[in-house]
Amino acid sequence: MNGQELTENIRTLNKEKIKEILLYKNQQQEELFSVAREIRQNGKFGNNAELRSVIEISNLCTQKCRYCGMGRNGKEIYTLSNEVIIDRITNLAKMGRRTFLLQSGENQNQKFVEDIAYCCREAIKKFPDIKIILCMGNLEKEQYKLLKDSGATRYILKFETSNAEHHKRVRPSDSIEHRLSCIQSLIDLGFQTGSGNIVGLPYQTLDNLVDDLVLIDKLNLAMVSATKFIPNEFSEFKDFPAGDIDITLNFLAILRILKPDCLIPSTTSLSTGHTDGQKRGLEAGCNTVTIHDGTPKELEENYSIYSEKRFSPGEEFCRKIVLDSDMVPQVYLI
* Residue ranges in contact with ligand SF4 by CB under 6 A: 61, 63-65, 68, 70, 105-106, 137, 305
CB of 225 to ligand SF4, least distance (A): 14
> What is the DSSP code string of 230-297?
---TTSTTTTSPPPPHHHHHHHHHHHHHH-TTSB-B--GGGTTT-TTHHHHHHHTT--EEEE---S-G
CB of 126 to ligand SF4, least distance (A): 29
State the Cα–Cα distance between residues 212 and 140, nearest whole angstrom.
Answer: 24
Q: Which residue, 33 or 303, is less far from ligand SF4 as judged by CB?
A: 303
Q: Which residue, 306 or 332, is less far from ligand SF4 as judged by CB?
A: 306
CB 40 within 8 A of CB 285: yes
Q: Which residue, 172 or 190, is less far from ligand SF4 as judged by CB?
A: 172
CB of 300 to ligand SF4, least distance (A): 15
Q: Which residue, 24 or 229, is less far from ligand SF4 as judged by CB?
A: 229
* Axis-axis angle for helices 110-126, 141-149 (nearest 10): 20
CB of 199 to ligand SF4, least distance (A): 15
Q: Which residue, 63 or 82, is less far from ligand SF4 as judged by CB?
A: 63
CB of 97 to ligand SF4, least distance (A): 24
CB of 103 to ligand SF4, least distance (A): 9
**Cβ contacts of 316 within 8 Å, gap of 6 or more:** none
Q: Which residue, 126 or 178, is less far from ligand SF4 as judged by CB?
A: 178
Q: Which residue, 209 or 230, is less far from ligand SF4 as judged by CB?
A: 230
CB of 243 to ligand SF4, least distance (A): 15
CB of 180 to ligand SF4, least distance (A): 15
DSSP SS3 for 54: strand
CB of 64 to ligand SF4, least distance (A): 6
State the Cα–Cα distance between residues 248 and 29, nearest whole angstrom.
Answer: 12
State the Cα–Cα distance between residues 224 and 44, nearest whole angstrom.
Answer: 15
State the Cα–Cα distance between residues 205 and 201, nearest whole angstrom.
Answer: 9
Containing 84, the helix (H) or strand (E) segment is: helix 82-94
φ, ψ of residue 66 to 5 degrees: the values are -75, -15
State the Cα–Cα distance between residues 302 and 78, nearest whole angstrom.
Answer: 8
Q: Which residue, 64 or 98, is less far from ligand SF4 as judged by CB?
A: 64
DSSP SS3 for 122: helix
Could you give the angle at the alpha carbon of 48 between the alpha carbons of 46 and 51, nearest 5°? 150
State the Cα–Cα distance between residues 228 and 101, nearest whole angstrom.
Answer: 20
Q: Which residue, 53 or 107, is less far from ligand SF4 as judged by CB?
A: 107
CB 97 within 8 A of CB 61: no
